[in-house]
Structure 1
Amino acid sequence: MAALFKNLVRNKVMLFMVLPGAIWFFFFSYLPLIGTVVAFKQYRFNREGFWASIVTSKWVGWDNFKFLFNGSDAYIITRNTLLYNIAFIVVGLVLSVAMAVLLSELVGKTLAKIYQTGMFLPYFLSWVIVGYFAFSFLSMDRGMVNQILGWFGVERVQWYSDPKYWPYILIFVNLWKAIGYNSVIYLASILGIDRSLYEAAMIDGASKRQQIFNITLPLLSPIIIIMTLLAVGRIFYADFGLFYQVPRDSGTLYSVTNVIDTYVYRGLKTTGEIGMSTAAGLYQSVVGFILVMISNFIVRRMDKDSALF
């Protein structure tokens, strides 16, 4: 106990630095864990408050989870959530790393900053605004895409009624919004690489392509693995705004746009069962935790230094 106290005193400056973050995590991440019991109850709010409502609500066990797995849409929402996230992870990783490498190779740093800022700006736009942007391009009557098709004599497309186009549209919109943010993370890692390695490679006659594949990418692999592991942990989560706002909640597109988050939201609007939405969130968190642990274990067996923990 004395050794622990001495260690706390010795590191008091560092502990005070992390104190605000620790307080935030306690109140917004750890304290709400008590509320996960709602997933196993038929939650009914009364005037005595939230905690009293939890105590008085009826215990229903696993019934709330049946809402996710017994419905006719269970396969569709699970398939869509998984496949979209796999596409986001794989394609997003490749494009983000490629964009970071290209930005790092630009000779004019001012030009690189302009490109970097332009790519980063979409990340700060809400999905509501992005949804209206998409509508301005895809509207049946006044959409820019249909107007261009009309100039070439091509029949206009009813984008919000035809599901076959939307997997590509959603992947494109997600990449357009997120690639700038992800590329900045990789670009920061590239700028931290010792420049003497590139100078030595140039003296040995290595081309720019050889420098990228033999220096940049191998040294980027730890941050690539960490980012991928974190993304795998959220593979059962879907960006609600992307799948709800961009397709404008069109019922004819549900076969390709309905994911776990939108399904739970619509179920909550219809039934008002808070326990069902809590059960869905708990299910997503548990599955994400298991996937991160398995992925990290595999990475740790292959390369201990590249593991997340």
Structure 2
Amino acid sequence: MDKRKRSQRKGKNSGLLLLSLPTLIWYLVFCYLPMFGIVIAFKRYKPVPGKGFIYSLFQKSPCVGFDNFKFLFLNPQMLLTVRNTLAYNLTFLVIDTVLPVALAILLSYLYSKKLSMAVQTAAMLPHFLSWVVVSYFLYTFLSTDRGLFNNILINTGNDPVRWYQNPGVWPVILIITHTWKAYGYALVMYMAYITAIDQELYDSAIVDGADVFQMINHITLPMLRPIILVLLILNLGNILNTDFGLFYQATRNSGSILSSTQTIDVYIYKALMENANYGYSAAASLIQNTVGCFLLIVANYAAKKINPEEGIL
């Protein structure tokens, strides 16, 4: 009897393993195998025409130790780049948590379900737009000669603004653009969790005389806390990563506003594509992901200390 159960269990596990095999291969090929490129961070990579990557890396690229990392820390642009990255990500972290949660709670109290679904659909649509399309949308508003905003300024007797040469306005523009494009996805996610909350909890609270704010404070928010915490931990893991399309495509790579728009991802791309600094870009990317992994582990550990049933690991 035990042998038959073991054989049945082995057959089920084999089927599940076979089913997961394509995903496993995908992760090995596209996620783990490219980690071999970490070696470039410790070399001065020189591609050799007519030779392969492996030959160029090990035969013609001298090992420089931590020189690439020293260059990054001594680069005067790096302080500004890290400051921009942290400032934007911390702002996004707060907005991406507070705004979708607040809107999801408000929508859950709408009597018209059709209106609620229409709002969710409208909020979700920008999520599917590429940053190239969004950059052209922004250009129709911010173009110096034909932009909507400048046309309004001219028609009201004011001077036009050169938006793509004015770094002071771009933090606000980028925050608004990011929020418009990103909040819909989180909104739908939180709405799904609110819908799954047992309605009897609210009915019991109403019988006990609780008002709307008390139900939100004692029922809705505690039930949403696990998913909010998971998303916060994951976002902390990406604290040094930014959306490349937002900071490069949406700004049309304008050099006049780099003081407000250059983040680590933009810096890595320019070092790689414009200056061919493979070692510097690899070193910056390695620091980026190492710090993100460390923060993710620390945040998860702190969450487990507060509540052992919460966290992601």
Task: State the TM bucket, normalised to the shorter chain.
Answer: over 0.9
Task: Return closer, same or farther for 1:154/1:214 CA change in 2, 3 Å cut-off.
Answer: farther
**Which one-letter code corresponds to 2:157 in the other structure?**
G
The root-mean-square deviation of aligned C-alpha atoms, in Å, is: 2.2
- Structure 2 residue 63 is matched with structure 1 residue 31: no
* Among 253, 267, 280, the residue aligned to 1:276: 280
* Residues matched between the structures, number: 308
Q: Distance in 1 between matches of 2:10 and 2:24?
A: 15
Q: Distance in 2 between matches of 1:203 and 1:11?
A: 49
Q: Distance in 2 between matches of 1:32 and 1:269?
A: 18
- Structure 2 residue 53 is matched with structure 1 residue 50: yes
Q: CA deviation at 1:45?
A: 2.6
Partner of 1:76: 80
* Among 175, 182, 194, the residue aligned to 2:186: 182
For structure 2, the 5+ residue unaligned runs are: none
* Among 223, 248, 257, the residue aligned to 1:244: 248
Q: Percent of counterpart pairs with the same letter?
A: 44
**Which one-letter code corresponds to 1:51 in the other structure?**
I
Structure 1: which 4+ aligned runs deviate by more than 6 Å? 4-7
Q: Distance in 1 between matches of 2:191 and 2:132?
A: 29
Task: Return closer, same or farther for 1:273/1:24 CA change in 2, 3 Å cut-off.
Answer: same
Q: Distance in 1 between matches of 2:17 and 2:198?
A: 31
Q: Contact 2:271–2:278 (CA<8 Å) still a contact in 1?
A: no
For structure 1, the 5+ residue unaligned runs are: none
Partner of 2:121: 117
Q: SS at 1:73's partner residue? A: helix
- Structure 2 residue 100 is matched with structure 1 residue 96: yes
Q: Distance in 1 between matches of 2:145 and 2:213?
A: 47
Partner of 1:152: 156
- Structure 2 residue 84 is matched with structure 1 residue 86: no
Q: Distance in 2 between matches of 1:206 and 1:157?
A: 52
Q: CA deviation at 1:67?
A: 3.5
Task: Return closer, same or farther for 1:8/1:274 CA change in 2, 3 Å cut-off.
Answer: farther
Q: Distance in 1 between matches of 2:93 and 2:16?
A: 34
Per-residue CA deviations over 1:99-143 (Å, capped at 9, x if unaligned) read: 222222222222222211111111111111111111111112211
Q: Distance in 2 between matches of 1:288 and 1:26?
A: 21
Q: Contact 2:268–2:285 (CA<8 Å) still a contact in 1?
A: no
Q: Distance in 2 between matches of 1:12 and 1:94?
A: 44
Q: SS at 1:42's partner residue? A: coil
